[in-house]
Amino acid sequence: MQSQNKLFEDLSKVATSAMGTIAGVGREVEEQARRRAREFVAGDEAISRDEFEAVKANASAAREAVEVLKAEVAGLRAQLAGMKPPEGTNPA
């Protein structure tokens, strides 16, 4: 009976040790993932807030310019529609 208790005790120690090792590996993987995430955010892959605001301002200015150009084109089309074709030409 004493040898069976010793066997179970040894198995218990091995299992406890294995669980501790697995938990340690899990903590190490989690720390590596956090480190990589920090490196990504701090790296060149991410843009700065200033760059984002500059691009946003450029896009807004471009949208405004497009609206102005649309209005100009609409005005020119209206002028063309109101013009008479020159005499002696055959309108298509």
| Residue 66, burial from CB neighbour count under 10 angstroms (0-12, 13-18, 19+) | exposed
Full-model pTM: 0.43
Residues 34 and 69 in one domain: no
Range of the structural domain that residue 24 is part of: 1-46
Quick one: 41 and 2 in the same domain? yes
**Same domain? 28 vs 58:** no
Q: Please write the tens of the pLDDT for every residue from 3-36.
A: 668 888 888 888 898 888 999 999 999 999 999 8
In total, how many domains does the chain have? 2
Say if residue 31 is in the same domain as residue 62. no
State the amino acid at position 88 in one-letter form: G
Asked if residue 1 and residue 37 are part of one domain, the reply reads yes
**DSSP type of residue 1:** -
Query: Does residue 91 carry a pLDDT above 60?
Result: no
Give pLDDT tens digits for 63-83. 999 999 999 999 999 999 888
Whether 77 and 53 map to the same domain: the answer is yes
Q: What is the DSSP letter of 90?
A: -
Structure confidence at residue 88 (pLDDT): 65
Q: Is 77 helix (H, G, I), strand (E, B) or coil?
A: helix
Task: Output 86 or 84, whichever has higher pLDDT.
Answer: 84
Same domain flag for 54 and 67: yes
Does residue 89 form part of some domain? Answer: no
